[in-house]
Every structure is written in C-alpha cells, then in structure tokens.
Amino acid sequence: MDGVDVVLTDLDGVVYRGRNAVPYAVEALTRATSTARVGYITNNASRRPVDVAEHLEQYGLQVTADDVVTSSQAGARLLATLVPAGSTVLVIGGLGLTTIVEEAGFVVTDSADDHPAAVIQGFAPELGWEQLAEASFALANASVPWVATNMDWSIPVERGIAPGNGTLVAAVHQAVGRMPVVAGKPERPIFDAALARFAASSPLFIGDRLDTDIKGANDAGIPSVLVLTGIDQPKQVLAADQRSRPTYVLRDLRGLHEPYPVTVRSEDRDGTRRVTVGESTVSMRGHVVRAERVGPDDMDLLRAGATAIWDSGLAIYGLDVDPKLYGGE
C-alpha cells in the first residue's frame, strides 16, 4: 500500500463469496480507506451502481454509488466514442444497463425497427430469444457498432454456475458473423473508466482471476494483486502466461498491510538458478524445479517457485515441478 492512492478491487472472490464476506476482506479494505480511495470494479451489467453499493454496505463497508464502476458504465463510455451524443441505441439487457445508457444521454430502444445507431448488450436473467433476435436484426447492417459489456462465459449463482453474457453474445455472433467491442474485464475500457473516475496516479488492482482481473490490469499498466480467496489457486499461479502474471500474490487481504518479501535471485556455475523469498528457496536446473528449502510461510515458497518458472521462459507443461510448490505431496 506504500504510495498507492487508489485501490481498485474486484468483488466476487475478493470481497465476498456467495452471501458471505471473504474473511479479512472488509477489515482490510476499510483500513485501506485511511490512506487511499477504494473503488469497486465489476463486470456485472445487470445491477446499477447504487445496487452494488447497497450490497457491499451489507457486509459493513462504507460505499456509495460513486465508488462503483460497472461494465455498463464502461460500455456507455465506449458508446460515446462510436456514435454521436443523443443517438438511439438498442439495449439488450436489464435495468442496470438501460439506466446507465439513458444517463449517458442516449435514447434507448428495444426494437431494431427504430433503426438504432448502435447496439449494446449486457446480461440480464430475463433475456430471451426475442431480445437476441432484435440485436441480430439491427446488426445485419454492418455499419452499426456493437458493444458488449463483458464476455464472461459463466456466472456464479446460488444454485451453481450458469451461462454468462459471453454465451448470449456468442448466440448473436453466430447469427450476424461478427464480434462486438468489449467494455469489461479484461479489456481496457473498464480500467480506463476507473482510472478516470478516481483520478488515479498510483493505482493498485486486486482480483482473484488471472485471465480477467490480472491480465486486464497488466494490459492497462496497473500493478496487480492476485488474492487466493477466489477462483485461481497456486497451480494456476505457477502456470500463468506472461500477460497474466500478478505483481503480488497474497493469501488473503491482510497481506495488503504487511511487508511484501524481497525476491533474491542467484545462479551457480553449473546453470542451476535459485530464487529465495523469505525463508524459502526454489532451485531450477533445466526443466526440473525443486523446493530446496521450505520456510514457515507457504506463500513464500509459491512466490519463489513462480518467479523461478516465469524467469525461465519455459512452458509449465514441459517442466518437472515439485508438488510442494502448489500444496501437493
């Protein structure tokens, strides 16, 4: 947190899981507000910022709608670069999207017969074939821009994992033969919208997914934290490709306010490379990666192993990796 003026954080898997707050998250983010602005970033286009803020307040966080940046807002901001102000826009989505598009000064329609200047598509549980067909009819005109709030293939719900906006976008894609421009993570528009909203000069982004949160932050030039309270775990960290590697890896958000350990690299004459983090050392020679010294903090072993593998430039599937690095036996 040293020098950070804005903390941007994902929600599901970082702040909460299902109906429950992630342990230590509320306390850590509340503490962060003493030295930085905290902004909450979500790909969920079905809820208005005020709805997201009210949800977060239920966990004990002090949040206003202005602290929330949604993919709907990023999508409306993107629309403004594609069509003139006041244009008629076909909105395929729920209240969380139509409200934002209207607030951005566009005229909202739900019919392709109104000859919309653009189409914007976001998830809503009530969407069906008729709405997707309207999008397809409007997009038959190749000059009509198409914006998707996000391309999340799945969403977590109370009963399990359900299809997300990406699956609905794919249905329209199959009908019209082209793809939309995307506003949400991991694409830049939502990060650019957040940086502009909070006037960030030294931001930090927190997420639980390498493929959306970390990749998106890296592409936007924002230092990133992967917290292991959500989707991705040590195996995924070790296997992360170059664009999806976090700046920091934390067990939980208590680590925001703790010193981050220094990484020390060395190399023997025989080509064996060693990485030491804290009291843990990982060695790598050729394609063999081993835990040479295991300290009391398993996070340090993971950080050392990830650094050794990432520095090698070799693909994970071609390596013999010590299972201790990811909690195996």
Alpha helix positions (H), 221-271: 234-238
Q: Which two tokens stand for residue 109?
A: 């329609």
Q: With contact defined as beta carbons under 8 Å apart, do 46 and 125 qualify?
A: yes
Closest to 34 measured CA to CA, from 74, 58, 59, 4: 4
* Six-digit token string for 125: 């549980």
The three-class DSSP label of residue 196 is: helix
The active-site residue, picked from 5, 10, 114, 219, is 10
> Which residues lie across from 7 on neighbouring strands?
38, 204
Q: Which structure tokens are listed for 283?
A: 């060695």
Q: Is residue 292 within 8 Å of 273, Cβ to Cβ? A: no
**Distance between CA atoms of residues 301 and 225, nearest Å:** 17
8 Å CB contact between 284 and 272:
yes
Catalytic residue among 12, 213, 232, 300: 12
- Does residue 12 carry a catalytic annotation? yes
Handedness of CA 144, 150, 154, 160 (dihedral sign): negative
Decide if 207 contacts 215 (C-beta within 8 A). no
Both tokens of 313, joined, read: 């430039």
Cα–Cα dist 149/73, whole Å: 9
Q: How far, in Å, CA of 300 to CA of 154, rounded?
A: 32
Query: Is cis: bond before 186, omega within 30 of 0?
Result: yes
Q: Are 96 and 103 in contact (CB under 8 A)?
A: no
Gap between the Cα atoms of 89 and 106, Å rounded: 7
Q: Any idea which residues carry the catalytic annotation? A: 10, 12
